[in-house]
Amino acid sequence: MLPGVFINKKKNNEVYFRSSITVFSRHISLGSYESEEKAHRAYMAAHVLLKDLTCAPGDYLSRTEYAQTIPFDKFICLINLRDNKVYFSTPIYIMKNFFRYYLEPDRFMTFDIDDLFYYARHRIQRRGGRLFTADYGMQVTLSTRYGIRPYAVKGRDYEFINGDELDYRYENIRIISRYTGVIPRYAKKAGTKTDTTRDLKYKVKIHFKGNYSVGDFDDESTAAIAYNKAADHIKKCFPSKNYAQNFIEDLPAREYARLYTQIDIGSFEESFDSRYG
């Protein structure tokens, strides 16, 4: 057999060829190929790439000697091994204080170095435009790892500070609203003639065959409880309707119950009952 090539058989006894290379005493698979020659070319290309300091992670499409022989994921893994002396099985390239996870030759995500161990062991997958990882047999949406709630609206509930939606460094993600149905907004202070001085208020909306306003509240926790109370009211009329409840950390159960009872959502209840009650 040619160097770097191993023959193998499928369950139906069909022969195929595997290519691999050994670097720093580590055996690295380069993939499966239909012919011995193609497997050998992958081995030779990998051997050259590990010494080719002119080739950067973004050069895959322009360097046909690699693009035609080595899978893209392996291309990134080998360049990272060449430059950073560490091998990951996922397409990660380490930079100073952060790393890039390549989704495609011209598209990558950026993460803090603190997340390196996780993404070195969890491959990012895509389905219907959604990015997720498989964790203990469950699909974990990437955004939820960073405090972005399911169904949160970009620009209203969260934002990427530098405008890059693939930059998941913690300093680049700003959570505007932590709770479902709670929308922070600024309102003109009472008694002022202009809106130059503004108060932060929290508007609560809930959706049931359209959006209903629950009310405006002075603090975020009260607004989150008001949403829960509105959801419970809807569920009394429509038991099959389920809403995700807001959980307020560091709020004792007794205090939660007191606020829940005290919060007035009478205008919402009247509006809702007039249509569905």
Q: Is the pLDDT of residue 243 over 60?
A: yes
What angle in degrees, to the nearest 10, is found between the helix axes of 253-262 and 220-237? 70
Q: What average pLDDT does the chain have? A: 91
pLDDT, position 11: 87
Q: Is the pLDDT of residue 185 over 90?
A: no
pLDDT, position 276: 84
Q: How far apart are CA 92 and CA 78, in angstroms?
A: 10
Q: DSSP labels for 31-60?
A: EEESSHHHHHHHHHHHHHHTT-TT--GGGT
Predicted confidence (pLDDT) per residue in 56-103, tens digit = 999 999 999 999 999 999 999 999 999 999 999 999 999 999 999 999
C-alpha dist (Å) from residue 18 to 41, 107, 131: 11, 28, 30
Predicted confidence (pLDDT) per residue in 20-39, tens digit = 999 988 899 999 999 999 99
Q: How far apart are CA 198 and CA 192, in angstroms?
A: 9
Q: How far apart are CA 203 and CA 255, in angstroms?
A: 22
Predicted confidence (pLDDT) per residue in 2-19, tens digit = 999 999 988 888 999 999
Predicted confidence (pLDDT) per residue in 127-177, tens digit = 888 899 998 888 889 998 898 887 788 888 899 999 999 999 999 999 888
Structure tokens at 274: 């007039």
Q: How far apart are CA 277 and CA 269, in angstroms?
A: 9
pLDDT, position 188: 58
